[in-house]
Structure 1
């Protein structure tokens, strides 16, 4: 009887420990998005989307209102980590209400104006941060050169015609789908579509399914390119790990959808955060 009691007590303690460990997990709202300012620096070239239109602005207000209810302790964005001081300055101007006058005076007649005026960092993250009362938005991007041209040359040199066709087809289908959504859907629906398990798996899988195979048996140009992509995202996630305090209950990570697809995998493997999806906040 005593042995049975001890076993039961041990099982209860184990259950309580596991339940407590789960309950104490910090929550992360992971949002993958398209680049509102559309710099067309990615392989998928898309048409412009009117993020400044009345309907888009209304939807951004709704999204950020829900993020406010989520009440994050920190927000991380795709901004160079090495340029945090500038991000701090811009955010303080935004909070103080003189951001628009500043960018109009400094950038209105430059190519940079669209980015400062339309980018998701300012349209979404700054708006959510101000509503939540955050004093700082953190940039976690670690930019590096991805040798895509080298990969294409390696494919051509190895006469990997089928692989080249697979890459071209993937890019064409992705471009067509993205452009159709930009023509027919609002910003909320587009973002939600970019955060489905299917979209993330397709996005993250592309590199292993195609790019990783580029080059002859003696060339690892493709694998090197994929490793650089992983490295960039690992560096970004490393900053999330380092900057998230033990006292933070909830954080937001807002990145391009390709990065978010990778970060989702890292979060799952680390098993520290409980992922919250934007669709759940918008119900």
Structure 2
């Protein structure tokens, strides 16, 4: 017997909902983030691999590129992007995923517009290790063991990631994206002293940061003919997938239709 949810589905998207390819990445250059993938952004083979991936992703044909830079960097972002379109052989002093991947996707697809939507907000995601007198000190270690178990299973099945494509495929796995939301925010709701909610307060800051970033996206003027490619650190990608799943304005395209 079908459940009511299977029998009847609401229309949740506008008829002219805008297609979005939302790709999560590891940071390919300098990052202040606590966790960083070891990656040589100057290595020619790495750059060649990234450009091959750009070709595959450019088949989405985005008209707008969105990246993880702040509003005050917008003039520089546009200036460098225009310079790259004119001279894709140009070099960058400290290249990252924006210059290495987003610019190339934009060039190949003919996208003329690029926007940064990042918003900075500090929070203490290491609260578990610093908060005394925790009500529950068991959840974090158990979760860490669970993730390490899954990592081992993944490596046994697919091997250690060896190429840039391997890393991006692993990073964009739906379960891994859920893990990123958990480990960066939701797990903090288990961290508190009696009668308080210190962890929830910190998690709320990170949710707020991502909500402001989503608000920044929503301020970009788009039409029904636009197609949006978003490139951000994968934790932001995970949040945006959730936001856009419920948004009537956007329809998320499966990254694995292009990330092959």
TM above 0.5: yes
Q: Measure how far apart 1:260 and its partner are.
A: 0.5
Q: Which has the larger radius of gyration?
A: 1
Q: CA RMSD in A?
A: 3.3
**1:220-235 to 2 correspondence within 5 Å?**
220-235=197-212
SS at match of 1:78: strand
User: Against the structure 1 CA distance between its residues 244 and 172, is the aligned structure 2 distance closer, same or farther, given a 3 Å change threshold?
Assistant: farther
The separation in 1 between residues aligned to 2:235 and 2:150, in whole angstroms, is 12
The separation in 2 between residues aligned to 1:182 and 1:256, in whole angstroms, is 23
- Cα shift readout 1:168-204 (whole Å, capped 9, x = no counterpart): 6578779999999996421112112211221122222
Q: Which range moved further: 269-278 or 221-230?
A: 269-278
Matched, 1:74 2:64: yes
Q: Measure how far apart 1:81 and its partner are.
A: 2.2
Q: Measure how far apart 1:132 and its partner are.
A: 2.1
Residue matched to 2:137: 161
Residue matched to 1:88: 78
Unaligned 5+ segments in structure 2 are 1-10
Assess if the C-alpha contact under 8 Å between 2:22 and 2:231 holds in 1: yes
- Cα shift readout 1:236-264 (whole Å, capped 9, x = no counterpart): 11111110412443101111111111110
Residue matched to 2:251: 274
Matched, 1:265 2:242: yes
Assess if the C-alpha contact under 8 Å between 2:65 and 2:229 holds in 1: yes
SS at match of 2:59: helix
SS at match of 1:49: coil
The separation in 2 between residues aligned to 1:233 and 1:178, in whole angstroms, is 28
Unaligned 5+ segments in structure 1 are 1-17, 105-115
User: Against the structure 1 CA distance between its residues 159 and 229, is the aligned structure 2 distance closer, same or farther, given a 3 Å change threshold?
Assistant: same
**1:7-18 to 2 correspondence within 5 Å?**
none
Q: Give TM-score scaled by structure 1 length.
A: 0.74
Matched, 1:214 2:191: yes
User: Against the structure 1 CA distance between its residues 172 and 143, is the aligned structure 2 distance closer, same or farther, given a 3 Å change threshold?
Assistant: farther
Q: Which range moved further: 181-190 or 170-179?
A: 170-179
The separation in 2 between residues aligned to 1:149 and 1:184, in whole angstroms, is 27
Q: Give TM-score scaled by structure 2 length.
A: 0.80
The separation in 1 between residues aligned to 2:56 and 2:245, in whole angstroms, is 24
The separation in 1 between residues aligned to 2:207 and 2:155, in whole angstroms, is 27
SS at match of 1:259: helix
Matched, 1:202 2:192: no
Q: Measure how far apart 1:214 and its partner are.
A: 1.2
| Number of matched pairs | 249
SS at match of 1:185: coil
